[in-house]
């Protein structure tokens, strides 16, 4: 699931509360420990589980009911960084860490580096390898080891207001060249309207688009060697493409996944967005005027005829070395992510997780899934097709630092005071300095 900052957790709470109001079901309360079914007198192996996905307590309850020999207790100790801070503290202290936790793909290498997560191949997880899209399995693998079960994902598409595109006679772009020309022409003819926003301060989105462009800025396969390249030919070409649109004010510089952005989209200021599959659930609570008008199309391609996707977000479920019951913890993590019983729960509101699990992705019922902002159309056909086509990327083991530095590093670009290429250079210098201070052998070339 996408990392949730304060503005994202606010939207998460609104979605969860809305479902509570409709269904009158008592859902898991954020920040508390979920009480699991009482099993007085029954012997069971106790497993602790940390996660922030709304409504995931429903899956935990189903597992406990179907696996009486294992008792899983769920806690939400915070979404994203707050959880990672508590995890790191507990691991350093030698006690207090959960058996299993939700960890985003970009954060998993940090725990692999410190050897705080277990290689799950010893517990048979390779038996479910073929049920996941290949890039997702690669995200949890290092060498011959597998250090988590893949969970959800955020395959990307171009989401657009179909009525607005018809009104302004804008063509749905199939290439980034078309995207650029349509964006420039639209804003020139209608200065108060944009084809999309572009927020360089959201590092996860920026890097997802860079991956699709073949401009991924990192190489890391474990150990002490890492490549950090934000200034190579492909990275610079990517920066220059977006800078042309920024200079022409043809993309809206609003922050992604914010109330401002959602208001702009609902009132016709932004008539499209390069979106992730989780986007409709975030946007829906703010929609007042355009409910049902939004459609999904494949992400524009850098070369006509290509079919390269991108992924923005997603989490995995490792078992931590402090676990006293790693076999049972792995059994739970495997059930949670590699069974239809679990996915039939977590694909629904308020969780609305988008799977990397192929049996669900390939099912006709999932492809025909509808969401309120898209009316009777089937956006999951587009997102589902993209889910297996994202490039395989290598996250460095210091994404916490990179994500913390990004808002400051890229704010001058968003404010029009610095070019994206210049910010790339400064950001590279910052990350190289940090990586070296942590003992890494750093290279700054060879990724392009």
pLDDT tens sequence across 317-335: 999 999 999 999 999 999 9
pLDDT recorded at residue 6: 37
Specify the CATH number of the domain 156-311+392-443: 3.40.190.10
Q: Tell me the HSE value of 18 on the side-chain side, using a 13 A CA sphere.
A: 14
CA 70 from chain center: how many Å? 30
Q: Which residue has tokens 């859902």?
A: 27
Q: Are 213 and 235 in contact (CB under 8 A)?
A: no
| Interval 381-400 mean pLDDT | 94
Q: Of all residues in the chain, what percent carry a pLDDT higher than 90?
A: 87
CATH class of 6-153+314-387: alpha beta
> Do the domains 6-153+314-387 and 156-311+392-443 sit in the same CATH topology, yes or no?
yes
| Interval 240-269 mean pLDDT | 96
pLDDT recorded at residue 19: 35
pLDDT recorded at residue 366: 94
Q: For 151-180, how does the pLDDT look when each residue is reduced to its tens digit (9 = 90+)?
A: 999 999 999 999 999 999 999 999 999 999
d(CA 24, CA 345): 17
d(CA 84, CA 30): 16
Q: For 407-427, how does the pLDDT look when each residue is reduced to its tens digit (9 = 90+)?
A: 999 999 999 999 999 999 999
- Any residues with CB less than 8 A from the CB of 318 and at least 6 apart, and which? 100, 101, 103, 108, 111, 117, 118, 120, 140, 147, 148, 333
Beta bridge partners of 124: none
| Interval 68-94 mean pLDDT | 95
| Interval 188-212 mean pLDDT | 96
Q: Is the pTM here over 0.75, yes or no?
A: yes
What are the domain boundaries of the chain? Answer: 6-153+314-387, 156-311+392-443
From 10-24, 91-105, 242-256, 422-436, the region with the lowest mean pLDDT? 10-24
pLDDT recorded at residue 336: 98
Q: Are 174 and 304 in contact (CB under 8 A)?
A: yes
d(CA 318, CA 390): 22
């Amino acid at each position: 699931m996408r990392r949730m900052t304060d503005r994202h957790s606010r939207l998460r709470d609104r979605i969860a509360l809305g479902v509570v109001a409709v269904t009158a079901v008592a859902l898991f309360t954020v920040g508390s420990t979920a009480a699991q079914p009482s099993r007085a007198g029954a012997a069971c192996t106790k497993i602790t589980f940390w996660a922030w996905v709304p409504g995931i307590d429903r899956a935990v309850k189903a597992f406990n009911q179907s696996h009486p020999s294992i008792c899983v207790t769920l806690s939400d100790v915070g979404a994203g960084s707050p959880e990672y801070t508590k995890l790191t503290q507990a691991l350093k202290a030698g006690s207090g860490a959960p058996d299993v936790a939700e960890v985003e793909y970009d954060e998993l290498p940090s725990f692999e580096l410190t050897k705080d997560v277990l290689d799950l191949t010893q517990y048979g997880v390779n038996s479910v390898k073929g049920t996941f899209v290949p890039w997702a399995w690669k995200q949890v693998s290092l060498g011959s080891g597998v250090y988590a079960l893949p969970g959800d994902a955020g395959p990307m598409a171009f989401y657009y207001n179909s009525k607005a595109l018809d009104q302004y006679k804008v063509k749905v772009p199939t290439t980034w060249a078309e995207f650029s020309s349509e964006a420039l022409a639209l804003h020139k003819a209608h200065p108060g309207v944009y084809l999309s926003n572009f927020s360089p301060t959201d590092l996860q989105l920026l890097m997802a688009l860079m991956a699709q462009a073949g401009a991924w800025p990192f190489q890391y396969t474990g150990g002490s060697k890492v490549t950090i390249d934000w200034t190579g030919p492909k990275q610079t070409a990517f920066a220059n493409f977006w800078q042309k649109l920024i200079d022409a004010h043809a993309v809206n510089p609003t922050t992604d996944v914010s109330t401002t952005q959602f208001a702009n989209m609902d009132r016709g200021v932004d008539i499209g967005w390069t979106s992730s599959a989780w986007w409709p659930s975030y946007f829906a609570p703010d929609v007042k005027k355009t409910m049902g008008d939004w459609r999904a199309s494949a992400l524009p391609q850098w070369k006509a005829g290509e079919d390269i996707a991108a992924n923005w977000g997603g989490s995995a479920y490792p078992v931590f070395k402090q676990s006293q019951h790693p076999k049972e913890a792995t059994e739970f993590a495997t059930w949670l992510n590699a069974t239809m019983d679990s996915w039939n729960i977590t694909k629904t509101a308020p969780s609305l997780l988008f799977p990397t699990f192929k049996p669900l992705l390939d099912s006709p019922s999932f492809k025909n899934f509808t969401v309120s902002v898209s009316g009777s159309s089937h956006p999951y056909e587009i997102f589902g097709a993209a889910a297996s086509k994202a490039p395989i990327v290598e996250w460095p083991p210091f994404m916490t630092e990179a994500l913390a530095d990004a808002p400051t590093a890229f704010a001058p670009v968003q404010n029009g005071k610095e070019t994206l290429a210049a910010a790339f250079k400064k950001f590279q210098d910052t990350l190289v300095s940090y990586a070296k201070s942590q003992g890494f052998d750093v290279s700054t070339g060879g990724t392009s």
